[in-house]
Amino acid sequence: MHRGIAKGAVVAALASVLVLSACGNKSDDSSSGGGSDLTISPLAQIDTSGKEVKSSSEAGALDPAGDGKAKCAPTTIAQMGALTGANAALGINMRDGAQLAVDQHNKANPDCQITLKPFDSEGDPQKATQVAPQIVNDKSIIGLIGPGFSGETKATGGVFSQAGLVSVTASATNPALTGNGWKTFFRGLANDDVQGPAVAKYLTGTLGKKKVCVIKDDTEYGAGLSKAIVEGLGAANVSACQGEVKTGERDFAAVISTITGASPDAVFFAGYYAEGAPFAQQLKAAAPDVTFVSGDGVNDPQFLQQAGDAAKGAYLSCPCGPAPSKFTTDYKAAFNQAPGVYSVEAYDLATILMKGIEQGKTTRADLLEFVRGYKGDGLARHYEWKPNGELTTSLIWMYEVK
């Protein structure tokens, strides 16, 4: 058990904290911040009980190049997510992963050329409601990779469903999304009802944490993940120090004072790196022995860049796994940086949509039915969906910042 410190000391410690901002830089098996020697290193793939599960082989994964004999009329698929704004790195990771798949397909199949058309939502639900009609009204678009964030997905899922446009997300993890009755939404990764229990049990089991404070941001993603974490922690959750921060907030003195007063041995932050990085800095300054833990919204090199040395020792989870070596090599050659969170998922989902197009599924209705009945392995995992759009099987990865 760690000793709390006085509120005045917290404020004094926080006053010295500066938030750094720069571009990310990543490595093959881990992600590193450009101005730091720290890396986000994979530890283990785990199930909902927090137990390690052997990762699957990459052999047999669907290849976007196919056999090079595909024939189709020029066809367009869209990608929607945050390409600008505070959390743009997450959307760019997905856009570039999808673009790599499209480029590899087009190079190998001159008689079946497919265009990826990106749309920037800034990760903002309100902005997304303006972007969604642009996508559905473009009749050349027959499939969508996205939306990226849970909030924008909640705001637009009904629009895509009504238009009959298949929407495959590489990253939106709020569990409630598949309970909206949408007919065209498919999640390409585990949701937070899988991530929450898995991470919570890993914390209390493998890491031996006894007292955990859960802090969330004010997004749909933060709400769903924090709820699942709290339930998974059980008696290890310290309800007295649960708290919420606002999007754009940078001074966390009040919430950190509550945390240190509870003397936890870990804090789980359910949110994105834009707030997670300064929060981790200020937590480290006020309570250096408390372990910072977070999910996929923070699992990005921008967290290392912005949190600096305060990121060291953090544990980060993700429904996404490490990028395979060949994929990393191809991605670096194309974009002059290594892949990030959800690049592989977007690559796989783009490949699945293009496989349908190769098979003559070139209307919205036909491509939707193709995805609904699809079964096959990608680089990240096996893809097969339940009627509600959830994967039939899903696991979580744990990472450590070293």
Q: Which residues of the chain, if any, have pLDDT below 50?
A: 1-35
At residue 102, the 3 state secondary structure works out as helix
Peptide bond into 147 cis (omega under 30): yes
Question: pTM score > 0.95 for this model?
Answer: no
Same domain, 79 and 147: yes
Instruction: In whole angstroms, give the CA distance from residue 174 to residue 221.
Output: 5
Q: What pLDDT is attached to residue 60?
A: 84
Output the pLDDT for position 239.
96
Tally of domains within the chain: 2
Please say whether the dihedral angle defined by the alpha carbons of residues 106, 320, 244 and 182, taken in this order, is positive or negative.
positive
Map residue 163 onto helix, strand or coil: helix
Residue 29's CB is within 10 A of a number of other CB atoms, namely 15
**SS3 readout for 221-275:** HHHHHHHHHHHHHHHHECHHHCEECCCCCCCCHHHHHHHHHHCCCEEEEECCHHH
289 and 225, same domain (yes or no): yes
The answer to whether residues 164 and 260 belong to one domain is no
116 is in which domain, residue-wise? 75-190+323-381
The answer to whether residues 122 and 167 belong to one domain is yes
| Radius of gyration in angstroms for the set of CA atoms belonging to the chain, rounded to a whole number | 21
Say whether both 150 and 170 belong to one domain: yes
Q: Quick one: pLDDT at residue 336?
A: 96
Q: What is the CATH number of the domain that holds 182?
A: 3.40.50.2300
Tokens at residue 87, please?
């959390």
Residue 61, exposed/middle/buried by CB under 10 A (0-12, 13-18, 19+)?
buried
pLDDT at 36: 60
Does residue 386 fall inside a structural domain?
A: no
Asked whether residue 393 is domain-assigned, the answer is no
Instruction: Flag whether 131 is in a domain.
Output: yes
Q: Specify if 389 maps to a domain.
A: no
Q: How far apart are the first and last CA of the chain?
A: 24
- Both 261 and 283 in a single domain? yes
Q: Do residues 175 and 191 lie in contact, with contact meaning Cβ atoms separated by under 8 Å? A: yes
Does residue 394 belong to any structural domain of this protein? no
Q: Are residues 232 and 257 in the same domain?
A: yes
Mark whether 327 and 181 lie in a shared domain. Answer: yes
Owner of token pair 């309100």: 126
198 and 280 assigned to the same domain: yes
Q: What is the dihedral of CA 153, 155, 160, 163, to 10 degrees?
A: 180
In a domain, 62, yes or no: no
Q: In the structure, how many helices (H) and strands (E) does the chain have?
A: 12, 16
Whether residues 219 and 307 share a domain: the answer is yes
Euclidean distance between CA atoms 154 and 40, whole angstroms: 30
User: Are 281 and 201 part of one and the same domain?
Assistant: yes
Domain-ending residue, one of 296, 318, 340: 318
Q: Rounded to whole angstroms, what are the CA distances from 107 to 55, 65, 95? A: 31, 8, 18
Query: Do 43 and 145 share a structural domain?
Result: no
| Residue 2 pLDDT | 33
Give the closest residue to 229 by CA, choosing from 315, 304, 158.
315
